[in-house]
């Protein structure tokens, strides 16, 4: 009995060609992000496998082979980890599916169980079927043909999609072309062998197309990295948006890692350009912030001097001059640059605390002075009330003497609130004029008073008002000046009165 009789033949070693078509393709070394090394060509060709040297008797498709066939991308579609191979605009074929053949159109089983296949050279016996129904035997040998057809279809898809090594595909196609004519299978063996030979004939052109695609892909990838390197160089030369520019350079590094398929020499040269630009940007940014640190150091020193000066003035009781000095310090503080958010806030708190000490003391002094001035106002109002009761018409001399004493008491009282000063002075002048008018009425009328004396009296009155204002301000320099001015005018009045009395 023939070895093929009764049961299907076991899978032949030649069935290994149905294994994962991408398993033998070598993965080229890639760029290491940690070491920042340029990538090697990720599409390097793997060495061709050794073709089968003897005819293969196909058997049932192993489960792992069937899974590999299902996982093969459609012709023209990118395989996992590879770039698309189809030209733009070309429709992508659907999944690979080798249609089942009709073995009855290409073979028969005779009465003694011998299985024949029809070829261009005539019928040829391919085996014997003694296990049962002749149709089942014919179907068995038809499935062997379908296995071979699946291999051919798979290689055609890989060749068309440029997803494998063309040299390896050519070798496998040649092995199939040699094997198919004598295969123990029933189907269109001539047509299937012709398809295998066609792949052998077109493999070289497919290899050329693959190389052209790789070259085009390499050019495109080089252009991408050149654009990124140029962008990095522009950032290094011009950008002052330090945070945004630094983030962009980090993003360029991440994008750079995804760009593959460039020869090592070119990739290293491009990486050197990028790395040099990034280093240049880092140096320029470092110099900028070093300059800022120096400026902040100078600003800190200047502000510390202002703080020390404010602390020295904080205990002063010369309210007027010191207030002006504090305002000047504030203007100088505003003119000094900032030293940084945290440091500047701390310095400002120290400076403001020194000023607050002085202004709080001045406020307390103002409150105490206000209380004293209100008491002085009340005392002067009491004196004025006594003066306004004087009746010079009954006792002129007594009224004059009493008024003189009241005036002495009135002048001895210190400052009063500024708003009440004019009203108090007007009331005192009114009493003085009433007493003076009573004295004038009792005198023999004489010549009018000397205009010089009148002018000097007005000058003295004005000087007294200026002294009162200076005392109200608390400015020691103004008070001293006003006192000296009043003394001078009083001397001039005395001289004028002496001159007038001698006439």
HSE, side-chain direction, 13 A CA sphere, residue 71: 13
Is the distance from CB of 187 to CB of 149 less than 8 angstroms? yes
Name the DSSP class of 393: T
Q: Write down the pLDDT at residue 96.
A: 54
Name 60's Cβ contacts closer than 8 Å, sequence gap at least 6: 8, 11, 143, 147
HSE, side-chain direction, 13 A CA sphere, residue 503: 11
Can you give 78-132 as a three-state secondary structure string? CCCCCCCCCCCCCCCCCCCCCCCCCHHHCEEECCCCEEEEEECCEEEEEEECCCC
Residues in the chain: 503
Q: State which H helix or E strand residue 456 sits in.
A: helix 451-473
Q: Write down the pLDDT at residue 224.
A: 92
Instruction: Categorise residue 156: left if φ over 0, alpha if ψ from -120 to 50, beta otherwise.
Output: alpha
Mean pLDDT by 10 residues, the chain (503 residues): 38 33 34 38 33 34 36 37 37 53 87 89 88 84 91 87 79 88 90 89 74 83 92 91 92 92 91 93 90 83 88 87 90 84 81 88 82 86 85 79 85 83 85 78 60 84 86 85 87 78 61
What DSSP string runs through 30-61?
---TTTTPPPP-TTPPPPPPPPP-S-----SP
What burial class does residue 139 get, using C-beta atoms within 10 Å of its C-beta: 0-12 exposed, 13-18 middle, 19+ buried? middle
Q: Write down the pLDDT at residue 462.
A: 86
Two tokens, residue 70: 């299902």
Q: Write down the pLDDT at residue 389.
A: 83
* Measured distance CA(464)–CA(484) in Å, rounded: 11
- Give the predicted TM-score (pTM) of the model: 0.38
Q: Write down the pLDDT at residue 36.
A: 41
Domain residues of the chain, as ranges?
13-220, 223-295, 299-446, 450-503
What DSSP string runs through 357-370?
HHHHHHHHHHHHHH
Is the distance from CB of 62 to CB of 14 less than 8 angstroms? no
Helix axes 341-388, 418-442, angle to 10 degrees: 20
Q: Write down the pLDDT at residue 282.
A: 93
Question: Which ranges constitute the DSSP H helices of 314-340?
Answer: 319-335
Query: What is each CA distance from 192 to 22, 100, 325, 395, 502, in whole angstroms?
Result: 23, 13, 106, 156, 157
């Amino acid at each position: 009995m023939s070895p093929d009789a009764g049961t299907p033949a076991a899978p032949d070693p030649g069935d290994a060609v149905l294994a994962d078509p991408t398993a033998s393709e070598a993965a080229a070394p890639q760029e290491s992000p940690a070491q920042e090394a340029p990538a090697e060509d990720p599409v390097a060709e793997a060495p061709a496998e050794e073709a089968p040297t003897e005819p293969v008797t196909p058997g049932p498709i192993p489960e792992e082979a069937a899974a590999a066939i299902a996982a093969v991308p459609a012709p023209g579609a990118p395989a996992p980890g590879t770039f698309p191979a189809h030209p733009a605009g070309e429709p992508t074929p659907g999944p690979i599916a080798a249609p089942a053949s009709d073995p009855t159109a290409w073979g028969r089983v005779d009465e003694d169980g011998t299985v024949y296949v029809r070829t261009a050279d005539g019928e040829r016996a391919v085996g014997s079927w003694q296990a049962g129904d002749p149709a089942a035997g014919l179907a068995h040998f038809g499935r062997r043909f379908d296995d071979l057809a699946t291999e051919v279809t798979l290689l055609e898809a890989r060749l068309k999609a440029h997803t494998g090594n063309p040299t390896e595909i050519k070798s496998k196609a040649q092995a199939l072309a040699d094997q198919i004519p004598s295969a123990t299978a029933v189907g269109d063996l001539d047509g299937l062998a012709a398809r295998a030979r066609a792949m052998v004939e077109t493999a070289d052109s497919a290899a050329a197309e693959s190389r052209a695609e790789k070259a085009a892909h390499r050019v495109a990838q080089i252009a991408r990295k050149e654009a990124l390197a140029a962008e990095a160089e522009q950032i290094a030369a011009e950008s002052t948006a330090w945070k945004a520019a630094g983030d962009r350079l980090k993003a360029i590094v991440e994008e750079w890692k995804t760009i593959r398929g460039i020869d090592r020499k070119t990739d290293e040269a491009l990486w050197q350009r990028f790395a040099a630009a990034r280093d240049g940007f880092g140096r320029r940014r470092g110099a900028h912030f070093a300059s800022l640190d120096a400026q902040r150091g100078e600003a800190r020193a200047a502000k510390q001097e202002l703080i020390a000066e404010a602390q020295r003035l904080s205990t002063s009781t010369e309210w007027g001059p010191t207030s002006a000095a504090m305002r000047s310090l504030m203007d100088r503080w505003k003119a000094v640059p900032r030293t940084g958010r945290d440091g500047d806030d701390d310095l400002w708190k120290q400076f403001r605390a020194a000023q607050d000490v002085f202004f709080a003391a001045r406020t307390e002094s103002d409150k105490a002075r206000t209380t004293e001035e209100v008491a002085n106002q009340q005392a002067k109002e009491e004196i004025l009330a006594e003066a306004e009761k004087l009746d010079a018409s009954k006792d002129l001399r007594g009224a004059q003497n009493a008024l003189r004493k009241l005036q002495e008491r009135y002048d001895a009282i210190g400052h009063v609130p500024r708003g009440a000063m004019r009203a108090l002075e007007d009331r005192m002048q009114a009493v003085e004029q009433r007493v003076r008018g009573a004295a004038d009425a009792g005198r023999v009328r004489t010549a009018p008073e000397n205009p010089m004396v009148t002018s000097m009296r007005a000058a003295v009155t004005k000087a007294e008002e200026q002294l009162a204002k200076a005392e109200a301000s608390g400015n020691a320099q103004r008070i001293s000046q006003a006192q000296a001015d009043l003394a001078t005018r009083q001397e001039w009045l005395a001289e004028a009165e002496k001159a007038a009395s001698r006439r």
